[in-house]
Amino acid sequence: MTARVLTCLYTNDSGSLTAAELVQRLQVSPASISKAIGELERHELIRRESDPRRRRDRSVIDPDV
């Protein structure tokens, strides 16, 4: 699942998506996305950013990777 999440983020024009957007695109449970995001963050491949327009965080590809 982590590879699918990372691929989805890399192929998205903005390089960032919310967890809800990932759930919708990948057709998996929110728990699966949460676990994958946590794992990718631990490996410092992505980071979470606050989206000022929304109340949700966005997962963002780390440009240094």
Per-residue confidence (pLDDT) for residue 58, from 0 to 100: 80
Does domain 2-61 bear CATH number 3.40.640.10?
no
Residue 13's CB is within 10 A of a number of other CB atoms, namely 5
Q: What is the domain partition of the chain in residue ranges?
A: 2-61
Per-residue confidence (pLDDT) for residue 60, from 0 to 100: 81
Question: In the beta sheet, which residues pair with residue 59?
Answer: 17, 48
Per-residue confidence (pLDDT) for residue 9, from 0 to 100: 92
Per-residue confidence (pLDDT) for residue 29, from 0 to 100: 97
If phi over 0 gives left and psi between -120 and 50 gives alpha, with beta otherwise, what is residue 8? alpha
- In order along its 65 residues, the chain shows pLDDT tens digits of 999 999 999 998 888 899 999 999 999 999 999 999 999 999 999 998 886 776 677 888 766 66
User: The whole model's pTM is what?
Assistant: 0.82
Per-residue confidence (pLDDT) for residue 63, from 0 to 100: 67
